[in-house]
Each structure stands twice: as structure tokens, then as C-alpha cells.
Amino acid sequence: MARPRTNGATRTAKREASSVQRGPDGATLLRMYEAMLLTRLIDERGIKLQRQGRIRFFVPCMGQEAAQVAYAMALQDDDWIYPSYRDTGTILARGVPLTEYLAQLWGNGLDLSKGRQMPNHFAFADRRLVSISSPIGTQISQAVGTAMAMKRKGAKTVCAVSFGDGATSSNDFHAGMNFAGVYQAPCLFVCQNNHWAISLPVSEQTAQSDLASKADAYGFEGVKVDGNDAAAVYQATLAAAHRAREGGGPTLLEMVTYRIGAHSSSDDATKYRDAEEVEDWKSKDPIPRLCAVLEERGAWDAKRDAALRERLTKAVADAVDAVEKAPQIGVASMFDDVYGRVPPFLEEQRESLLDEVKERGGIGTGHGEFPL
């Protein structure tokens, strides 16, 4: 009897299913560690840049690096991701160049969004990273729509959406989860449960202790995973993505982690959090934890770690220097990318604005404060 032919999609599915059983290999763990360390170094530098007045606003993610980097690396390049504004690790794990990431914090001539978004509100179409939404949870229903569209097209891709524990109380969370369950959308709901929705603890915004169990109400699987264990996050995401590709529908992944830093550069977390709680979670830091795993495997040591930190620190410094030297975006750029053919009335407004800039010698940027 002739052996049945196996197509490429089936082979890919078998390889992925096998990888789920084995977990991430040594090379993948090393890539995750480097991306997590780079994320931490940018986090530390970003806060300093804001305090020095060189950027206006920054959203740190210290303590959540494993939950962000590992899930992103478990996805395929053609999968879509709807990140939140705290997802620096996800963006870097997706391969976004440092200068492109940093330029958005300045909103200057290197910024792909041309200064039209708040800092930490990125969009990288070539990496399938959809523009970040400021309102809490709105990206959830958007991501489900993308997943439903991919399913109708017969694509073997998934759509992942990231959000915090506070977003599980938003309207869009419930609407998105319901649509995903009804239509069996290939969507991964990645909840980074960092225990705090700004100053509100998770215990005061939901009566459900396990956020993953919220998936039960919508007819699909919820998985709770240690969000500070990079290998566990990777495996859980890979398994959920495999199910979605094979028609198994959505999964809610609750990554239990902790936001060690403030909500943003405009927040003082010491006003509402106990110092002992923070110190306890610092002892569970995902970066030293993964480093210890690599050392136990004989794949890492202090000398290589020091060399990596030196290289990444220099890369961040060089990128900051390059971005700060970039020219500003002209104020008249507000008229670009709106119409395929600019109507006459906007041309008149544009010329009027340029005349005013020339007469005044520039336009003031104002002194407003960011609200978050």
C-alpha cells in the first residue's frame, strides 16, 4: 500500500506539536535571555531619560520580561500581535531595531508613526505589531476581529493580544472573549497579571482569584502559568498557538507576574504598594531565574554574562545617541497621509501654517502633562 503523502502544513504541525512536548531548546533560551536583558536595560535607561527631561513619558515593564519575550518568541513571524503600551519585551523579541523603538519615544524624524502617537504607543506593520491603543482593553476586540478574518481566509496563522489584569474588567474583554468563543477564532488572549491596575490591586477589581477561569464562561480553555518562568510561558503559548492553528479555537493565557516598577513615569507606586511586597517579588525576578537555568545547563557563566551586558549597554547608548541627533518632524507633516490627493482647502491651510512658522520662527510645543 502506498504511503499517504504529507503536505508542508502537516509537517509543520507535527514539528510544532513535538516542540510543545520538548520545550524551548538551549539556543531559544539564550535568545530569550538576551532579549529579556536588553528589555531591562532599556527600562532602566528609559526612566533616566524621562527624569532628565530628554523624553516626556515612559512606561516601564521591569519584572514582566519573561511574560513578554517568551510568548512573542513562541509565535511565528506571520502571526499578528496586538500589544499593550507596556510590552517593550514583546516588541524587541519581535526583532524591532533599537533605533526604531527608541525613536517613537522622541517622536522625531526617525519615528515611523511621525510623532502622531503618545510615547510607548508603537506600531510596526512589517513585524505584524498593530498600533497600540491607549484605552484599556480596546485592542482585545480588535484582535479577535483579525483572528476571525484569518480563519475565514483559511490562513494557518494566529493573532495574540496582550493586556493586563485590569483589562479583564473592561467591556472589550467580555465582548472579545464572547466573539472568539462563538466563532472559534484562532486568538490567544495573553493576560499579564502583574497584580496592579495602576493603584488598584487585582483583588479589588474582580471576585475571581484565577483570571484564567474567566474563559469558562465563553466556552474555551484558560491556562494559568508562572509568568516569571520563561520556559513555561514559551511552552504554554506554543501549545495554545498549535491548538488555534489546528482549529481548536482560542485560549486565555494568564501569565502571573509582577510590575516591580511604577505604572508609568507619572506614577509614584510607593503611595499604594507595600515595600515588602515589592521586595518579595524582586526575589522572583525572571532574569536571574533564567540565567540560573542556563548556568545549570552549562550554557552560561559570569564572564559571558558580563560581556553580554557590556555589549547591550553600548548598543542602547549608541541607539539613544543616534535617535537624539535625528531631526524633528516639521509641523506641516500633520497634513500628510490623510488624503491620497490633498484637497485645495488643506493646501491653503498648510501654506498659511508655513507662513506663520516662518514669521514666528517656529511653533511652541506647549507644556501639558501626560495623563497616565
Q: Residues 273, 276, 277, 281: is their CA dihedral positive or negative?
A: positive
Find the catalytic residue in 56, 121, 128, 259.
259
What is the β-pairing status of strands 80-82 and 200-201? unpaired
The reported pLDDT for the residue numbered 173 is 98
Helix (H, G, I), strand (E, B) or coil at 319: helix
Residue 12's CB is within 10 A of a number of other CB atoms, namely 14
Indicate yes or no: pTM above 0.75: yes
Task: Based on the residue annotation, tell me whether 259 is a catalytic residue of this protein.
Answer: yes
Q: What is the pLDDT along the chain (372 residues), one digit of tens a residue?
A: 333 333 333 333 444 444 555 689 999 999 999 999 999 999 999 999 999 999 999 999 999 999 999 999 999 999 999 999 999 999 999 999 999 999 999 999 999 999 999 999 999 999 999 999 999 999 999 999 999 999 999 999 999 999 999 999 999 999 999 999 999 999 999 999 999 999 999 999 999 889 999 999 999 999 999 999 999 999 999 999 999 999 999 999 999 999 999 999 999 999 999 999 999 999 999 999 999 999 999 999 999 999 999 999 999 999 999 999 999 988 888 899 989 999 999 999 999 999 988 888 877 655 555 555
Residue type, 228: N
The rounded distance, in Å, linking the Cα atoms of 87 and 65 is 9
- Which helix (H) or strand (E) segment is 46 a member of? helix 26-51
Cα angle 327, 319, 83; round to 5: 95
The reported pLDDT for the residue numbered 361 is 80
Beta bridge partners of 222: 252
The rounded distance, in Å, linking the Cα atoms of 171 and 223 is 21
* Residues in Cβ contact with 188 at an 8 Å cutoff, skipping those fewer than 6 apart: 71, 158, 159, 160, 161, 237, 240, 241, 244, 250, 251, 253
The burial class, CB within 10 Å (0-12 / 13-18 / 19+), for 264 is buried
Find the catalytic residue in 15, 51, 54, 272.
272
* Residues in Cβ contact with 179 at an 8 Å cutoff, skipping those fewer than 6 apart: 141, 144, 145, 148, 185
Task: Based on the residue annotation, tell me whether 195 is a catalytic residue of this protein.
Answer: no
The rounded distance, in Å, linking the Cα atoms of 228 and 287 is 8
- Which helix (H) or strand (E) segment is 251 a member of? strand 251-256
The reported pLDDT for the residue numbered 209 is 85
CA end-to-end distance (rounded Å), the chain: 67
Helix (H, G, I), strand (E, B) or coil at 246: coil
- Which helix (H) or strand (E) segment is 347 a member of? helix 344-360
Task: Look up cell 557590556; give the residue.
Answer: 310
Task: Based on the residue annotation, tell me whether 263 is a catalytic residue of this protein.
Answer: yes
